Amino acid sequence: MKTLVAPRILLAEDEEAMRTYLARALTNAGYEVCAVESGVAALPLLESGDFDLLVSDIVMPEMDGIELAQHCAEISPRTKVMFITGFAAVSLRASREQPSAKVLSKPFHLRDLVLEVERMFENAREAQP
């Protein structure tokens, strides 16, 4: 009998309240979540951990989410990427530079986040041979 393992999500969000809400919603939905405050803090976790999904704010100090996603593609190419942002122009840039990434625009309901994450994992399962 195969044991189901909860998908692992790395969450990078610089705003503490938002990070807490997102992490709680994803944990309550059954995911294993590691939440950090910056792209710089996320990098070593990507290098040492095995994450199924990176959920990253785009606009963060030191290293933005797009740069983090580029590092993620090199370090852990099988990790999917979802961006969250409150800036429409930044959302367009993310779509151009990371076309396979999902972009979720703020404000959004936590239910919408969980549904999008579930959809990403469903699509990945369907794509497997």
Q: Render pLDDT for 31-49 as a digit per residue (tens, 0 to 9).
A: 999 999 999 999 999 998 8
Which pLDDT band, with edges at 50, 70 and 90, does 129 fall under? low
pLDDT digits (tens, 9 = 90+) for 8-24: 999 999 999 999 999 99
Structural domains in the chain (count): 1
Flag whether 97 is in a domain: yes
**Residue 92: predicted pLDDT:** 72
- E-assigned strands of the chain? 8-12, 32-36, 53-57, 80-85, 102-105
Flag whether 2 is in a domain: no
Flag whether 3 is in a domain: no
Flag whether 25 is in a domain: yes
Flag whether 68 is in a domain: yes
Name the residue range of residue 57's domain: 8-127
- Read off the CATH number of the domain in which 111 is found: 3.40.50.2300
Single pTM value for the model: 0.90
